[in-house]
Amino acid sequence: MPKLLQDPRKAGQPTLVLYDVQDDRRRTKVMNACKDYGLARWQYSAYHGRLTGAARRELETRLEKAMGDSPGLIAVLQLEQWQIDDATILHQEAEDD
């Protein structure tokens, strides 16, 4: 199991990372960077978790390098707790066949 680059005992701010990177190799680097900072996959191209300010800046630098000159978009959104608390999230599990 890889060592997390942020101490999970440090709460940090709710953070959402959204990405759309076309190159498979670079997209894998983006996913691995998010995982290394303790973020959890929310959707195929979205990760969420809590990051300190320093960890967020480090992750942003790593994501910028991972994307390189490949076309795409990466958004790192720092949220407030009230935004998480007030969010409406609709979720339904797929039925097993």
Question: Contact 49/84 with Cβ under 8 angstroms?
Answer: no
C-alpha distances out from residue 67 to 3, 26, 61, 70, Å: 22, 6, 10, 6
pLDDT at 5: 64
Nearest to 49 by CA among 1, 2, 5, 94: 5
pLDDT at 3: 57
36 annotated to a ligand binding site: no
pLDDT at 1: 42
Compute CA 85 distance to the chain's CA centroid, rounded to the nearest angstrom. Answer: 19
Domains of the chain, CATH where assigned: 13-83 (3.30.70.240)
pLDDT along the chain (97 residues), means of 10: 59 93 94 95 93 94 93 94 86 75
pLDDT at 17: 97
CA geometry: angle at 39 spanning 95 and 60, to 5°?
135
